[in-house]
Amino acid sequence: MNLFGVFSVPDWILLITTVLVSTYLYVARHRNYWKNQNVPHEKFSIFGHTRRIMSKTFHELDQERYIKYGKVYGMFEGGKPSLFVADPELIKQILVRDFLKLPNRRSVKFHNPLLDNLMSVVSYKRWKVIRSVSTPAFSSAKLNKMCSLIESCIDVTKRHLIDAAEKEQDLELGHFYGNYTLDVIARCAFGTTMDSHSDQTNDFVRMSKIITGGKKNLALVLTFVFPALARLLKLKLFNEESVMYYKDLSSTTMETRRRTKTKQDDFLQIMIDAQERNRTLDVSQGGEEDAVKFFDIDSKLTDEAPLSSKTLSEEEALSQCMMFILAGHGTTSSVIAFALYLLALNPEAQNKLRREVDVCIKENGPKPSMDVIDKLQYLHGVVSEALRIFPPASRLERETTEDYILGNTGIKVPKGCVVAVPVWAIHHDPQYFPDPDSFKPERFSKDNVDSIPPYVYLPFGAGPRNCIGVRLGLRAVKMALFHSICNVEFVRTAKTKVPLELFKGFGAISSSDITVGVRKRTS
């Protein structure tokens, strides 16, 4: 093509230029969105955000923006405006009061029916059904029955821990308690008994490493930064072989139980029952323990509309079993690992916890009930403080189903955009938690906990769409800490990293190297 009658430009260059300019104009169409509303915001950039999330952790980025822009600020993800909110009253507005306006988490497509039916990603109408039929699995009655299953996993883990202490070994806590957590999930969700510590070649163990091992890749980056492109390319975020393994395992176990008419007290049985009849479900939690209420914030759903169904499809039932692996494995093991790491760095706190555990055992025997363990105040403080310093998720996210006005601020968020709560940044704000980088379990004692404002401590989220497995997860964590501290000591060694190096990019907050020494008790 002859341009301006001066020089010739090949048609293909003009075509590429036109496509690139058009793409930029489309992606940048919202670049003045926050400026026009006078909202403090990060400057629009197509690739700047991508570079940063590849070089820094999410929590670092969120904390930098929190310090720079304040408690309400805007940014752009894939060209779309996102609003970050850290003001406690506005957080309650988003997660609780306006739940029906923001009932969904960030929309993600896995292009796999099993993964696309996970409770954590389905849209509100199906989520409401899935949550209602899954809730009985986490009632007090069911959890009390599951505690005996967890205790059997504790016994196995305890043997390996004592052996490591006698040899004065250094342990990578994430891996070690990942084995324990996997045993708990296998037992409570899939009805399978195993010892992951001894048998790393077991398919259940091997596939868990494959499915949850990848922390960052191009597919994840594109899904987060350019979701439309990721959907167009139908990118796969999880290993297909491992997904199919857990699907086949669940399906086979379900079919065997139906054929033999056998039942077990596990999550898989709840899913079988949820398929078989349109029954009235007992969704009551029973007597809620104070230790659980502290984490389970305003989760009651006030939508009185009747459920469209009380049964699950086969795919939906299988998906919720898969959720145990994806949502429970790394998260639970990391909480245990972080707590013991902090105790290793703070021997006075460790000794105080051990004294509390010793008194409990003297009064209640070597295997006290979960109700007794739940009443241990310093153990509660240790777990709570570990969750404050290292929350499982660096942020909470909700997606608007309509144009949304935030409280009385007048700030408008377009339909289909994300409103996020930067949990890590809030947990490390000295306004709410003085000396935030120090490990102080006493913050959560009965005398001090009332000084923490509502909605600034959110390790498991808040509102109806919080973490449904918090009760089971906390029991697995507390039982592991109780019996570990009872039997061995954890110490800082030359291999212990201070500070820890956390994974950059996506997923739950975790580290590949949480190493401490394990020693026999000296007292």
Give the annotated binding-site residues.
467
Radius of gyration for the chain, computed over Cα atoms and rounded to the nearest angstrom: 24
Using DSSP bridges, classify how beta strands 7-8 and 72-77 pair: parallel, antiparallel or unpaired: unpaired
Give, in order, the Cα–Cα distances in Å from 462 to each of 199, 248, 259.
38, 34, 40
User: Token digits for 499?
Assistant: 């500070």
Tokens 């408690």 label which residue?
71
Helix (H, G, I), strand (E, B) or coil at 503: coil
Q: Please give the annotated binding residues for heme, written as ranges.
A: 467
Q: Where are the alpha helices (DSSP H) in 109-172?
A: 113-116, 124-134, 140-166
User: Token digits for 215?
Assistant: 């922390």
282, containing H or E segment = none
Give, in order, the Cα–Cα distances in Å from 91 to each of 34, 176, 385, 434.
19, 36, 21, 21
Orientation of helix 173-190 relative to helix 267-276, angle to 10°: 30
Tokens 């708990």 label which residue?
184
CB 432 within 8 A of CB 455: no
Q: Which residues are 491's β-sheet partners?
A: 517
User: Token digits for 321?
Assistant: 């079993």
Q: What span, in angstroms and rounded, lies between the C-alpha atoms of 148 and 369? A: 9
Helix (H, G, I), strand (E, B) or coil at 82: strand
Q: What span, in angstroms and rounded, lies between the C-alpha atoms of 124 and 100? A: 9
CB 500 within 8 A of CB 341: yes
Give, in order, the Cα–Cα distances in Å from 114 to each of 138, 319, 327.
22, 5, 14
Return the closest-CA partner of residue 59 out of 417, 506, 511, 512.
Answer: 506
